[in-house]
Structure 1
Amino acid sequence: MDFSQRLQQLSTHADALTQFGRGLERESLRITADRHLSQQPHPVALGSALTNKWVTTDFAESLLEFITPVSTDVDQLLWQLEDIHKFALSKMDGERLWPMSMPCFVGSQDDITLAQYGSSNTGRMKTLYREGLKHRYGSVMQIISGVHFNFSFSDSFWDGLFGEQTPEQRQESVSDAYFGLIRNYYRFGWLIPYLFGASPALCGSFIKDDKVKESFSKVGTGTYYLENATALRLSDLGYTNNAQSSLKIGFNSLDQYLEGLNKAIHTPSKEFADIGVIVDGERRQLNSNVLQIENELYAPIRAKRVTKSGEKPSEALKRGGVEYIEVRSLDVNPFSPIGISEDQVRFLDLFLTWAVLTPSADMDDSELACWRDNWNRVVVDGRNPELMLKIGCAGERLSLKDWGSRVFAELEQVAKTIDELNGNTLYQQTCERLLGWIHHPERTLSAQLLEQIKAEQGIGNLGYKLAAQHLGYLNEQGFRFYDAKTFEQEVHHSIEKQQQIERDDTVSFDEYLDNYFADINIGL
């Protein structure tokens, strides 16, 4: 069946296109009122970063991460994220949240304190993993922020698509469908940085090569930009890992993906071995392999399954198949107090539904390289009206505008079908607005942001201005879904839970790591 036939088939099944599961993870640096990166530890009033289900830290003590539960209602999802922001800011002693993906000037990586999770073996391993990232890639790269969008289809969706199946057949069909989605994401996902990329400029400290710097324009004292860039965060100047460029991890099936991931975890790296695993009695990284653990794999999208206690992500996938996908290519939306907007969520609903319903042929390494080249073109030159993108590896090209318009023609079919089921026109309105951005690049987030960066003479001035505006808005806003008491209870519970984890440890940290990596040659 083609895309339209699959969409028509689903439109007759109750809830198939109205019960998407969504969760958000938003990262943001804490900054002081005098415009510096916070040097304070994670606020005690936010509870344990190890166990608080809503507020944790990512790489650094100053890099907060806000996490929503899964929701099937767009408004509820955004209300929950807003409430988490509001509560966190109320406990930050006057600090603010940096509103952009790319950090402003950081004097030295020594100014960045690694996230701390207590004295348990689990907590110590999380910090040591970050120590490894610091030695491998530098701390400054690790405090680049993003928004992750977790998404799943309902049982009704799969019932409508596949009909009656045994549990084993359904598990295999669902995993295959999600990997088809992932392949289409690599083919067409450049639409996301085009529309929502919000890092057209960066601090000059990210550009180490003077020859590269010469290709940039400069504004203010140290902000460098490319006139048509959309998402430099996704470029070689942003969140990258050159050591992974040689990995051949395929997306044609769950088995192929797990085989490639397993190989990367077990493959020694001479570069990382030179860092040392234990030096002068101190651990510098978990091991010297290409990936310390699976989380180190950088990808714009991931296949995921909720893990059981003590289970690695790949073990969960092997046990139960793909349960949801994680979209990782969203820049923080600097114009939203919570880093993402309703239109963005609705577009992702449409795009991911279209991607799973559109036939998706297998993809070899050379084709994947072609699609990655399209992504690179869009992140550095996406608003160039003359930009041409590859159509596979045959040499044929199509303009971004023409290709984007073709995709939107089918996204509009998805929007109309969902709106008819919901009895409104919300998805069609989103589609109409964003199609206008395809034809008018100046409406994209990156264009709007670059215009304001120029007006404010740099990322720093604009960032602090937006941070103050967002703080004011959230302070004035009442709680929409949760309440302060609920958050306070979670703070208290998270502290107790961390203490219990620490009490339950029965082996030394060295034994814990030996057990965790029992199947891996860690090259000590």
Structure 2
Amino acid sequence: MTQKNKINEYLFLGRFGIEKESLRVNEKGFLSHTEHPFTDILNIDRDFCENQIEIITDAFGSVDEAYEQLSQFHNIAVKRLYSLKSGKEYIWNFSNPPYVRGEQDVPIAKFDGKLKGKELYREYLASKYGKMKMLFSGIHFNFSFADEYLELLYKESDDESYRTFKDKFYLNLAKNAVRYSWLIVHLTAASPLFDGSFIKEEDLGKDIYSKYASARCSEIGYWNDFVPILNYENLHEYVNSIKEYIESGQLKTSAELYYPVRLKPKGKNTLEALEENGINHIELRTIDLNPLSDIGFKKEDALFLHYLLVYLSILEDMKFEDSEQVKAIKNVQKAALYDDSKILIETGWNKSENVRDISLKILNEIEKFYLEVGNEKAVEIIRYQKNKVINVQERYAVKVRDLFKNEYVKNGCDLAEKYAKTR
């Protein structure tokens, strides 16, 4: 077998993990105030508040396996909530929250002993950003390439060590993933509706047809109060560029870096571990919960994220200037808008293209790549994504607005009950 054939054999192998945040609600669409009912299941934790759960899968060798475990834990959670003695509860399958009775309705997650710092950190976030923004929920997709693949690439490189090559590989991948994060948002945005109580408590029950397709990825969503500029020259400089924001007081910890992409070490996620042990995997963070799926995440989108990362990994290594990093974040926020006929994505110096046109152009390039390598499944998934761009009625945000307009929360609860009864 030739070196090229070996590389192609390992190209699609890797490790996959999925994290899914969701709010717990009662039958009437209000946030639950019961204690976290999953203390016996390590894979179901709390996120910011007591009534926001996070399902965290193990790492698997395929998207299918990670997705299957996500589905299993989701089903366990749905069944347990539906049969609580204190009254039925549901998993809220939307990124935007249901009825909210002000910030007092959002109890910060409680931790004891050695974990007390997690609670104190959440109190810090609440004071800095407000509790309401913390109710936004979504999907994080984690992926690492197979070592067999990276080792083959390393042998063809000029790098002095495998560790140096691997870190450089993931830094380059991260740059490209940030550049293309707007595409992920455009294709997965699914939160065009609000209840009025998210804006003003007295507007509880009033449907808000926002200008956003994805509120959490928009200008009003999960962002720092500055645009982080990171140094992708090497891992040491990358870590230092984050540490500078911490030392200046702009960030409390690296976890406060609200950014479309994160690079993570194996094990404990700290900057010290990242620098000492190197980059283990990449995390994509701009995926909305999708109520059109019974578990809030379509497998077609999980597969697309994998195929997108593979494609981005083979693109030429290019510098990521400060101005380009700012532009990349602006593009994400633009892609989060609802009316995609008016969204202009900045593609160069004083150059912009309509989001539909540039999305289709990029997806065609990705499709061509997978046709050339003979991956029929990838071609099928890329065409699924293209259909959302070509047929505007197939966009998730458009479908969600149409299905859940006129009593967004009531219709959302009806959907949650329907999903619960099928478990």
Shift of 1:353: 0.8
Higher RCO structure (Cα 8 Å, ≥6 apart): 1
Structure 2 unmatched runs, 5+: none
Larger displacement relative to structure 2 (320-329 or 74-83): 74-83
1:75 and 2:61 are equivalent in the alignment:
no
Identity over aligned pairs, percent: 27
Q: Take 2:319 and 2:158, find their aligned partners in 1: how far apart are those partners?
A: 25
- Which residue among 89, 101, 105 is the counterpart of 2:78? 89
Q: Deviations over 1:358-405 (max 9, x none)?
A: 113111211211222222221124x4335332112x112222233212
1:222 and 2:222 are equivalent in the alignment:
no
Structure 1 unmatched runs, 5+: 1-7, 209-217, 268-288, 476-524
* Correspondences of 1:92-491 after superposition (within 5 Å): 92=81, 93=84, 94-118=88-112, 120=113, 122-163=114-155, 169-207=161-199, 221-226=205-210, 229-242=212-225, 245=226, 247-267=228-248, 289-308=249-268, 313-381=270-338, 383-392=339-348, 394-416=349-371, 420=375, 425-454=376-405, 457-473=406-422, 475=423
**Aligned counterpart, 1:272:** none
Q: Deviations over 1:491-524 (max 9, x none)?
A: xxxxxxxxxxxxxxxxxxxxxxxxxxxxxxxxxx
Q: Take 2:217 and 2:297, find their aligned partners in 1: how far apart are those partners?
A: 17
| Residues 418, 147 of structure 1: alpha-carbon distance in 2 compared, 3 angstrom cutoff | farther
SS of corresponding position for 1:224: strand
Shift of 1:145: 0.5
SS of corresponding position for 1:13: helix
Q: Take 1:463 and 1:324, find their aligned partners in 2: how far apart are those partners?
A: 35
SS of corresponding position for 1:358: coil
SS of corresponding position for 1:89: helix
Residue 395 of structure 1 aligns to which amino acid in structure 2?
N
Q: Deviations over 1:390-443 (max 9, x none)?
A: 112x112222233212211232144346654xxxx3222111121121222221
SS of corresponding position for 2:365: helix
Residue 51 of structure 2 aligns to which amino acid in structure 1?
S
SS of corresponding position for 1:391: strand
| Residues 226, 246 of structure 1: alpha-carbon distance in 2 compared, 3 angstrom cutoff | closer
SS of corresponding position for 1:389: strand
Residue 384 of structure 1 aligns to which amino acid in structure 2?
D
SS of corresponding position for 1:239: coil
Larger radius of gyration: 1
Shift of 1:18: 3.1
Shift of 1:53: 3.0
| Residues 249, 204 of structure 1: alpha-carbon distance in 2 compared, 3 angstrom cutoff | farther
Residue 172 of structure 1 aligns to which amino acid in structure 2?
T
Q: Take 2:128 and 2:382, find their aligned partners in 1: how far apart are those partners?
A: 41
Asked whether the 8 Å contact 2:340–2:355 carries over to 1, the reply is no
Asked whether the 8 Å contact 2:227–2:326 carries over to 1, the reply is no
Asked whether the 8 Å contact 2:25–2:92 carries over to 1, the reply is yes
Residue 464 of structure 1 aligns to which amino acid in structure 2?
C
Asked whether the 8 Å contact 1:16–1:160 carries over to 2, the reply is no
* Correspondences of 1:486-497 after superposition (within 5 Å): none
**Aligned counterpart, 1:62:** 51
Q: Take 2:163 and 2:328, find their aligned partners in 1: how far apart are those partners?
A: 28
Asked whether the 8 Å contact 2:106–2:131 carries over to 1, the reply is yes
Asked whether the 8 Å contact 2:29–2:99 carries over to 1, the reply is no
Shift of 1:168: 6.2
Asked whether the 8 Å contact 1:350–1:414 carries over to 2, the reply is no
Count matched residues: 415
Asked whether the 8 Å contact 1:18–1:418 carries over to 2, the reply is no
Asked whether the 8 Å contact 1:235–1:376 carries over to 2, the reply is yes
Shift of 1:326: 0.7
**Aligned counterpart, 2:29:** 35
| Residues 87, 246 of structure 1: alpha-carbon distance in 2 compared, 3 angstrom cutoff | closer
Asked whether the 8 Å contact 2:29–2:410 carries over to 1, the reply is no
